[in-house]
């Protein structure tokens, strides 16, 4: 029974706790996932704006260097050798200028090249002979527009297996005519991807037609996304993005985790067929749903509290019941002197009624608040025991003297003769009072009196208790005499 009481409460607490946890967590995750899908499009646009601003800064920086004397002097040199030497030195100077964090990106460009008005390379940094004479008009479409319009622009260029962000600016002579161009390119490396990822709060990847070029993610996520982007169902979206059409937010599982992503073409990158992917770890951005774990902890705390309280409550209920069961079993086995005695407000009334029932069937009287012995039937069985049960005691409440004549006289009568005489005196007193005595069998009367005597003797710790008949105001009572 204890286990049932405790287990029932525990199951209720557990079901309520788990149910609340699942409902709250599911709803929070669903709402956070919906917000993430709505937001990732805005974050993709945020990167596109950052890219344009970064490209514009790069183009402005290249334009500034294109107006420097070291670059302009390249085109006033006499002879090819002098021009190439000045072009190499100018490219080196521009590279150093961009390495200054106060001016450029704080890192060395991947390429700095000085180009003539026909679109051919005069010289580049790091190696004066490398790329010499290479025509770039067809390979770098933005270069043609720069030479035609005399402006500075930014673009994307795939060069020697590198994906570069370019800044290209026209070089003008003293008369304002366009005589060449300055080209500066930065690799879209993993470092650049991580730098931009910190800005938008999501992972960022640059992709090309054949695969992922750079990423801010781990190697495991990159490899998993490589397969996902170039295989159904995401491959069609990747192809569309490379052609200039951004995708809607998509979801996929990478390295065991759920991700939300969006793919879009790099601004000014159509010539290189390059795109970027903004990728969000759904678990990271729905971590707020983890507050629902508090419900689990509270549920565990509630289970512990219910278990402790249930154990205490079950014991407070079951121990008296078990004691009552043992006492009733003792009565069934012949222990007529046993009564239920439980210290429980909840079971005190039941204990009292069971004791009444035992007294009824064993013939033992109960005492009311005035000290009178009564039974529960209300008929002749309710033998009226006089409230002078203290007659054999002194007024101080101490036991009467052992040589009390009344007590000695009653104690001296043999038991059989005493009960027979008491029955005759009781019946005679009842008849004298005008009461019907036809329903008072002697055997039953003696059985009742013996039970009453045993009860009072135990209560008063006496050797025996005997009764004598007395009539007070036409009411026949049995006056107990306690004999020590």
Rg of the chain over Cα atoms, rounded to whole angstroms, equals 54
187-204 burial: b if 16+ Cβ within 10 Å, else e: bbbbebbeebbeebebbb
Closest CA to 279 of 369, 214, 325: 214
Question: Hey, do 67-187 and 190-285 end up sharing a CATH topology, with the first three levels equal?
Answer: yes
Look at residue 108 and tell me whether its pLDDT is greater than 60. yes
Cis peptide upstream of residue 159 (ω within 30 degrees of 0): no
Closest CA to 49 of 269, 267, 195: 267
190-285: CATH superfamily: PAS domain (3.30.450.20)
Q: Which residues contact 101 (CB under 8 A, 6 or more apart)?
A: none
Half-sphere exposure of 220 (CA within 13 A, CB side): 5
Task: Determine how β-strand 152-159 pairs with β-strand 257-265.
Answer: unpaired
Contact 451, 362 (CB under 8 A): yes
Look at residue 148 and tell me whether its pLDDT is greater than 80. yes
- Residue 153: strand pairing partners: 168
* Tokens 């490219």 -> residue: 91
Domain boundaries, the chain: 67-187, 190-285, 377-483
What local confidence, expressed as pLDDT, does residue 59 receive?
Answer: 95
- CA pair distance 18, 124, nearest whole angstrom: 67
Contacts 24+ apart (CB under 8 A), 339-342: none
pLDDT digits (tens, 9 = 90+) for 330-385: 878 877 667 777 777 777 788 878 887 877 666 555 554 444 444 444 444 445 45
CATH class of domain segment(s) 67-187: alpha beta
What local confidence, expressed as pLDDT, does residue 211 receive?
Answer: 93
What local confidence, expressed as pLDDT, does residue 62 receive?
Answer: 95
What local confidence, expressed as pLDDT, does residue 402 receive?
Answer: 53
pTM (predicted TM-score)? 0.60
Contact 468, 477 (CB under 8 A): no
Range with the lowest mean pLDDT among 111-120, 151-160, 319-328?
Answer: 319-328
């Amino acid at each position: 029974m204890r286990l049932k009481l405790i287990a029932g409460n525990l199951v209720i607490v557990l079901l309520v706790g788990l149910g609340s946890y699942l409902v709250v967590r599911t709803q929070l995750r669903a709402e956070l996932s919906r917000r993430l899908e709505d937001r990732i499009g805005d974050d993709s646009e945020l990167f596109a704006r950052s890219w344009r601003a970064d490209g514009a800064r790069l183009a402005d920086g290249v334009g500034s260097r294109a107006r420097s004397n070291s670059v302009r002097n390249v085109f006033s040199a006499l002879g090819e050798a002098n021009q190439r030497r000045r072009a190499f030195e100018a490219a080196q100077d521009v590279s150093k200028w961009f390495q200054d964090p106060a001016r450029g990106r704080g890192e060395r460009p991947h390429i700095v090249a000085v180009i003539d008005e026909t679109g051919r390379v005069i010289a580049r940094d790091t190696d004066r002979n490398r790329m010499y004479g290479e025509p770039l008009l067809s390979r770098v479409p933005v270069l043609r527009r720069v030479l035609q319009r005399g402006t500075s622009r930014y673009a994307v260029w795939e060069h020697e297996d590198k994906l570069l962000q370019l800044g290209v600016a026209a070089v003008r002579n003293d008369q304002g005519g366009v005589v060449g161009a300055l080209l500066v390119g930065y690799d879209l490396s993993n470092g650049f991807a991580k730098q931009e990822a910190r800005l938008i709060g999501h992972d960022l990847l640059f992709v090309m037609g054949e695969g992922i070029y750079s990423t801010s993610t781990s190697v495991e996520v990159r490899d998993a996304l490589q397969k996902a982007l170039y295989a159904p169902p995401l491959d069609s979206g990747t192809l569309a993005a490379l052609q200039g059409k951004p995708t809607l937010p998509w979801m996929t599982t990478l390295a065991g985790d759920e991700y939300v992503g969006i793919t879009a073409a790099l601004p000014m990158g159509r010539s290189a067929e390059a795109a970027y992917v903004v990728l969000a770890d759904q678990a990271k951005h729905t971590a707020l749903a983890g507050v629902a774990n508090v419900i689990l902890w509270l549920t565990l705390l509630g289970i512990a509290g219910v278990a402790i309280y249930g154990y205490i409550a079950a014991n407070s209920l079951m121990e008296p019941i078990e004691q009552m069961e043992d006492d009733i079993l003792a009565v069934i086995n012949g222990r007529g002197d046993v009564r239920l005695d439980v210290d429980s407000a909840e079971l005190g009334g039941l204990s009292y009624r069971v004791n009444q029932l035992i007294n009824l069937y064993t013939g033992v009287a109960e005492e009311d608040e005035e000290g009178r012995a009564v039974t529960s039937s209300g008929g002749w069985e309710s033998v009226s025991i006089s409230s002078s049960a203290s007659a054999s005691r002194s007024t101080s409440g101490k036991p009467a003297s052992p040589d009390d004549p009344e007590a000695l006289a009653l104690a001296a009568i043999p038991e059989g003769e005493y009960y027979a005489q008491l029955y005759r005196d009781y019946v005679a007193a009842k008849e004298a009072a005008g009461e019907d005595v036809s329903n008072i069998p002697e055997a039953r009367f003696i059985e009742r009196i013996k039970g009453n005597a045993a009860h009072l003797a135990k209560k008063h710790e006496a050797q025996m208790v005997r009764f004598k008949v007395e009539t007070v105001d036409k009411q026949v009572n049995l006056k107990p005499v306690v004999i020590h």
